[in-house]
A and B are shown apart, each in its own frame.
Chain A
Amino acid sequence: MAEPSDQPAAWYRPVGEEVVVFEHCYANRLPLLLKGPTGCGKSRFVAAMAERVGRSLITVACHDDMTAADLLGRHLVRGGDTPWQDGPATRALREGAILYLDEIAEAREDVLVVLHPLTDHRRELYLDRTGERLVAPAEMMLVVSYNPGYRRGWKELKPSTRQRFVSMTFGYPAAAVETEIVRHESGVDAKNAKRLIALAHKIRGLEELGLAESASTRLLVNAGVLIRDGLAPRLACQVAIVQPLTDDTTLAEALSDVANMVF
Chain B
Amino acid sequence: MSLDERLFGWLYRALARRRTRPEAASEHAVFLEDVADRLSLVASALGGRAFAVRRAERVGGVQRATLLLPVVIDAYPSAVLNMAAYHYRVAFSVRSELLGFSMAGLQATPASRAQATLLAVAATRFALERDLPQMADLLVALRPESRESYTLPATASAIDTLAYGDPLDEDPVEGVAALHATPPSNQSELVAALGGWGPALARDLPDLAPAFARHALLFGELLLPIDKAPPTLIGDPSQDAREHAGGTERKAPARDEVDVLTLRSKEDENPVVHSFEKVHTLDDYSGGQKRMDGEDHLEEQLEALEDLDLRGVIRTGQTASSVYRADGLFDGGLAGGEDDEETRRGVSYDEWDGKRRRYLRDWCTLYPSSPPCGARPEVVSERMGRVRREYAAEIKRLRAAFEAIEASRAWRSRQREGDALDMDQVVMRSVDMVQGGRVEERVYMHRRRHARDLATLVLLDVSLSSDSYVDDHRILDVSRDSLLVLGEVLGPASDEFGVAGFYSHTRRDCRWLPLKTFAEPWTMGAARLIALQPRGYTRIGAALRHGIAELGELPAKRRLLLLVSDGRPTDYDRYEGRHGIEDVRQAFREAEAQGISPFALTIASKPDASFVRLFGAGRFRTLPTPAALPSSLAEVYAQLAMGA
Q: Chain A residues in contact with chain B, CB under 8 A?
A: 67, 69, 74-77, 80-82, 129, 151-156, 198, 202-203, 205-210, 213, 246, 248-251, 253-255, 257-258, 260-263
Q: Is there an interface contact between B46 and A261, defined as CB atoms closer than 8 Å?
A: yes
Q: How far is the CB of B413 from chain A (nearest CB, A)?
A: 10
A207-B44, A246-B617 are known contacts; what are 12 more A-B pairs with Cβ within 8 Å? A69-B424, A76-B427, A82-B427, A129-B428, A152-B643, A154-B644, A156-B595, A205-B44, A205-B47, A205-B48, A208-B613, A255-B41
Q: Within the assembled complex, what's the spacing in Å between the Cα atoms of A203 and B46?
A: 8
Contacts of B616 in A (CB 8 A): 210
- Which of A213, A260, A261, A262 gathers the greatest number of chain B CB atoms within 10 Å? A261
Q: Is there an interface contact between B617 and A213, defined as CB atoms closer than 8 Å?
A: yes
Q: Within the assembled complex, what's the spacing in Å between the Cα atoms of A77 and B426?
A: 10
Q: How far is the CB of A172 from chain B (nearest CB, A)?
A: 15
Contacts of B471 in A (CB 8 A): none
Contacts of A254 in B (CB 8 A): 37-39, 41-42, 45
Q: Within the assembled complex, what's the spacing in Å between the Cα atoms of A82 and B435?
A: 9
Q: Is there an interface contact between A262 and B132, defined as CB atoms closer than 8 Å?
A: yes
Q: Is there an interface contact between B45 and A250, defined as CB atoms closer than 8 Å?
A: no
A153-B643, A202-B46, A208-B617 known; A251 and B427 CB under 8 Å? no
- Which of B38, B39, B41, B597 gathers the greatest number of chain A CB atoms within 10 Å? B41
User: Which of A82, A210, A246 contacts B434, CB < 8 Å?
Assistant: A82
Q: Is there an interface contact between B87 and A257, defined as CB atoms closer than 8 Å?
A: yes
Chain A, Cβ-Cβ closest to B607 = A250
Q: Is there an interface contact between A250 and B41, defined as CB atoms closer than 8 Å?
A: yes
Q: Is there an interface contact between A250 and B134, defined as CB atoms closer than 8 Å?
A: no
Chain A, Cβ-Cβ closest to B612 = A208
Q: Is there an interface contact between B42 and A258, defined as CB atoms closer than 8 Å?
A: yes
Nearest first, the 5 closest Cβ-Cβ pairs linking A and B are A153-B644, A254-B41, A82-B431, A205-B48, A75-B431
Q: Is there an interface contact between B434 and A203, defined as CB atoms closer than 8 Å?
A: no
Q: How far is the CB of A218 from chain B (nearest CB, A)?
A: 19
Q: Within the assembled complex, what's the spacing in Å between the Cα atoms of A253 and B37?
A: 10
Q: How far is the CB of B262 from chain A (nearest CB, A)?
A: 31
Q: Is there an interface contact between A152 and B427, defined as CB atoms closer than 8 Å?
A: no
B91 interface contact, C-beta 8 A: yes
User: Which of A151, A207, A248 contacts B607, CB < 8 Å?
Assistant: A248
Q: Is there an interface contact between A261 and B87, defined as CB atoms closer than 8 Å?
A: yes
For chain B residues 575-619, which have a beta carbon within 8 Å of chain A?
A: 592, 595, 597, 607, 609, 612-613, 616-617
Contacts of A82 in B (CB 8 A): 427, 430-431, 434-435
User: Which of A80, A250, A262 contacts B38, CB < 8 Å?
Assistant: A250
Contacts of B41 in A (CB 8 A): 206, 208, 250-251, 254-255
9 CB < 8 A contacts A-B: A67-B424, A77-B427, A80-B434, A152-B644, A205-B44, A208-B612, A254-B41, A258-B42, A261-B132
Contacts of A198 in B (CB 8 A): 131
Contacts of B557 in A (CB 8 A): 154
Q: Is the interface of B mostly helix, strand, loop or mixed?
A: helix
Contacts of B508 in A (CB 8 A): none
Q: Is there an interface contact between B612 and A258, defined as CB atoms closer than 8 Å?
A: no
Q: Within the assembled complex, what's the spacing in Å between the Cα atoms of A251 and B49?
A: 16
Contacts of A263 in B (CB 8 A): 134
Contacts of B37 in A (CB 8 A): 250, 254
Per-residue A-contact encoding for B23-48, CB less than 8 Å = 1, 0 else: 00000000000000111011011111
Q: How far is the CB of A162 from chain B (nearest CB, A)?
A: 14
Chain A, Cβ-Cβ closest to B39 = A254
Q: How far is the CB of B169 from chain A (nearest CB, A)?
A: 33
Contacts of A246 in B (CB 8 A): 617
Q: Within the assembled complex, what's the spacing in Å between the Cα atoms of A74 and B427?
A: 9
Q: Within the assembled complex, what's the spacing in Å between the Cα atoms of A154 and B428?
A: 32
Contacts of A155 in B (CB 8 A): 644
Q: How far is the CB of A37 from chain B (nearest CB, A)?
A: 14
User: Which of B134, B430, B435, B612 contacts A262, CB < 8 Å?
Assistant: B134
Q: Within the assembled complex, what's the spacing in Å between the Cα atoms of A257 and B84?
A: 9
Q: Is there an interface contact between B434 and A81, defined as CB atoms closer than 8 Å?
A: yes
Q: Within the assembled complex, what's the spacing in Å between the Cα atoms of A69 and B617?
A: 36
Q: Within the assembled complex, what's the spacing in Å between the Cα atoms of A83 and B430?
A: 11
Q: Is there an interface contact between B44 and A206, defined as CB atoms closer than 8 Å?
A: yes
Q: Is there an interface contact between A77 and B430, defined as CB atoms closer than 8 Å?
A: yes
Q: How far is the CB of B597 from chain A (nearest CB, A)?
A: 6
Q: Within the assembled complex, what's the spacing in Å between the Cα atoms of A206 and B50?
A: 8
For chain B residues 549-592, which have a beta carbon within 8 Å of chain A?
A: 557-558, 592
Q: Within the assembled complex, what's the spacing in Å between the Cα atoms of A202 and B95?
A: 13
Chain A, Cβ-Cβ closest to B428 = A75
Contacts of A208 in B (CB 8 A): 41, 44, 609, 612-613, 617
- Which of A67, A208, A253, A262 gathers the greatest number of chain B CB atoms within 10 Å? A208
Contacts of B607 in A (CB 8 A): 248-250
Contacts of B435 in A (CB 8 A): 82
Q: Within the assembled complex, what's the spacing in Å between the Cα atoms of A258 and B45?
A: 7
Q: Is there an interface contact between A260 and B46, defined as CB atoms closer than 8 Å?
A: no
Q: Within the assembled complex, what's the spacing in Å between the Cα atoms of A203 and B607?
A: 20
Q: How far is the CB of A193 from chain B (nearest CB, A)?
A: 15
Q: Within the assembled complex, what's the spacing in Å between the Cα atoms of A98 and B431?
A: 31
Contacts of B50 in A (CB 8 A): 207
Chain B, Cβ-Cβ closest to A64 = B644
Q: Within the assembled complex, what's the spacing in Å between the Cα atoms of A80 and B428?
A: 13
- Which of A74, A129, A156, A257 gathers the greatest number of chain B CB atoms within 10 Å? A257
Q: Within the assembled complex, what's the spacing in Å between the Cα atoms of A249 and B617?
A: 13
Q: Within the assembled complex, what's the spacing in Å between the Cα atoms of A59 and B42?
A: 39
Q: How far is the CB of B131 from chain A (nearest CB, A)?
A: 7
Chain A, Cβ-Cβ closest to B608 = A250
Contacts of A67 in B (CB 8 A): 424
Q: Within the assembled complex, what's the spacing in Å between the Cα atoms of A71 and B640?
A: 29
Contacts of B132 in A (CB 8 A): 261-262
Q: Is there an interface contact between A153 and B431, defined as CB atoms closer than 8 Å?
A: no
Chain A, Cβ-Cβ closest to B83 = A257
A81-B434, A253-B38, A261-B91 known; A75 and B617 CB under 8 Å? no
Q: Within the assembled complex, what's the spacing in Å between the Cα atoms of A129 and B44?
A: 57
Q: Within the assembled complex, what's the spacing in Å between the Cα atoms of A67 and B425?
A: 13
Chain A, Cβ-Cβ closest to B48 = A205
A153-B644, A208-B609 known; A203 and B45 CB under 8 Å? yes
Per-residue A-contact encoding for B346-387, CB less than 8 Å = 1, 0 else: 000000000000000000000000000000000000000000
Contacts of B15 in A (CB 8 A): none
Contacts of A260 in B (CB 8 A): 134
Contacts of A249 in B (CB 8 A): 607
Q: Within the assembled complex, what's the spacing in Å between the Cα atoms of A207 and B615?
A: 11
Q: Is there an interface contact between A250 and B434, defined as CB atoms closer than 8 Å?
A: no
Contacts of B524 in A (CB 8 A): none
Q: Within the assembled complex, what's the spacing in Å between the Cα atoms of A76 and B423?
A: 11
Q: Is there an interface contact between B597 and A154, defined as CB atoms closer than 8 Å?
A: yes
